[in-house]
Homo-oligomer: A and B are copies of this chain.
């Protein structure tokens, strides 16, 4: 491995570690547990599950990998806060979406070369990217890993 490959391995290891930890936690929680707020007055487990899935689903268009798999999640879990919503998918569907979205992403992530990781993401113009070359896919991956860890720390409170 050369230096760039070493660094990308570290970043990808961190991502897969938190995807795996979060997946294991979600599997260990019953639907009833997931419906509870993670702390008094805070988001429910199911909202955070939908929120994380929606954010990760957004990586497909951001990384030029096609459309979102579940664009309907955006309104329920990104635009709006946690609230009773007839558009909210059933928990077993959300569990499936979590697996599907993250497995599909990993299919790409595990194959990308250094050059592919350092390509610009779709939210940056060519002109801005020329000036700010760190606004690449890898940078997004690091930020999304931290976002995942942030909410995983909250989801952990559902475990008694």
Question: Quick check: B1 and A3 within 8 Å, CB to CB?
Answer: no
Interface digits, A8-44 against B, CB 8 Å rule (1 contact, 0 not)?
1111011001100000000000000000001110100
Q: Is A149 an interface residue (CB 8 A)?
A: yes
Q: Identify which of residues 21-74 in chain A touch chain B, using a CB-to-CB cut-off of 8 Å.
A: 38-40, 42
Mostly, the A contact residues are: helix
When the two chains form the complex, which single residue of B4, B17, B145, B146 contacts A4, counting CB atoms closer than 8 Å?
A: B4
CA distance A39 to B37 in the complex (A): 11
| Closest residue on chain B to residue A114 by CB atoms | B3
Question: Quick check: B134 and A6 within 8 Å, CB to CB?
Answer: yes
Chain A count of residues within 8 A CB distance of the other chain: 36
| Closest residue on chain B to residue A9 by CB atoms | B134
| Residues of B with C-beta under 8 A to A143 | 14
Question: Quick check: B39 and A157 within 8 Å, CB to CB?
Answer: yes
A20 vs chain B, min Cβ distance (A): 13
Q: Is A98 an interface residue (CB 8 A)?
A: no
Question: Quick check: B11 and A142 within 8 Å, CB to CB?
Answer: yes
When the two chains form the complex, which single residue of B6, B8, B146 contacts A149, counting CB atoms closer than 8 Å?
A: B146
| Residues of B with C-beta under 8 A to A114 | 3
Known contacts A40-B39, A146-B145; A13 and B152 CB within 8 A of each other: no
